[in-house]
Amino acid sequence: MKELSLNILDITYNSIKAGADRIEIGISESTTGNLIEIEIRDNGCGMDDEFLRRVTDPFVTTRTTRKVGLGIPLFKQSAEDAGGTFTITSKVGEGTAVYASFQLDHLDRAPIGDMGSTLVSLIQANDQIRFIYRHKTDQGTFVLDTDELHAQLGDVPLSEPAVLSWLHAYINENLENIQGGKI
């Protein structure tokens, strides 16, 4: 995959399919630590131990439309290609956490990509889910919590076009301030 944001989108769709109503997406970039860390954590249906052991294998999926599930194996691959690590933990009835790290200056490390568009498309299609996004860089931290947005907007849905275009600009501006996703 060309950009890590596409991996994030894919992994977050797993959380949505798992029935989560709260999804946390965290990105941490550290130039001093030469490290990028990404975590997606949900409160969806979870997976049992046996399934979890097989889930990084590209031939495991519960979907019937396509025989091969690739979201998890591809994310694992992009981390390992970039000198990083990958872990996934899950508990039935509680949820799942997917963690990937990347050596920042590794030649095969994909760019982070467009997190503004990624977040807007996730929020647009899933107004009922609470998304909490935390993006940390050496310059600072940006946190977006859709519960706080709902509280500010009252009855206006986040899926309203005017809200979405404001949100897109707001996220981009805040990421710009901390130079998030630039590397």
Ligand X SMILES: Nc1ncnc2c1ncn2[C@@H]1O[C@H](COP(=O)(O)OP(=O)(O)O)[C@@H](O)[C@H]1O
Task: Note the residues at the interface with ligand X (CB under 6 A).
Answer: 14-15, 18, 42, 44-47, 55, 60-63, 69-73, 96
**Which residues are within 8 A (CB) of 151 and not within 5 positions of it... i.e. 6 or more apart?**
none
The minimum distance between CB 51 and ligand X, in angstroms, equals 7
Residues 116-175 that bind Mg ion (CB under 5 A): none
CB-nearer residue toward ligand X: 44 or 113: 44
The b/e string for 62-78 (b: 16+ C-beta within 10 A; e otherwise) is: eeeeeeebebbbbbbbb
Out of Mg ion, ligand X, none, what residue 61 binds, judged by CB under 5 to 8 A for its kind, is ligand X
Give the residue, chosen from 5, 7, 14, 126, that forms a contact with Mg ion under the rule CB under 5 A: 14
Give the residue, chosen from 46, 71, 116, 181, that forms a contact with Mg ion under the rule CB under 5 A: 71
The minimum distance between CB 63 and ligand X, in angstroms, equals 4
The b/e string for 132-165 (b: 16+ C-beta within 10 A; e otherwise) is: bbebbbeeeebebebeebeeeeeeeebeeeebbe
Q: Label residue 19 left, alpha or beta by phi (over 0 means left) and psi (-120 to 50 means alpha).
A: left
CB-nearer residue toward ligand X: 66 or 162: 66
Give contact residues for Mg ion (rule: CB under 5 A). 14, 71
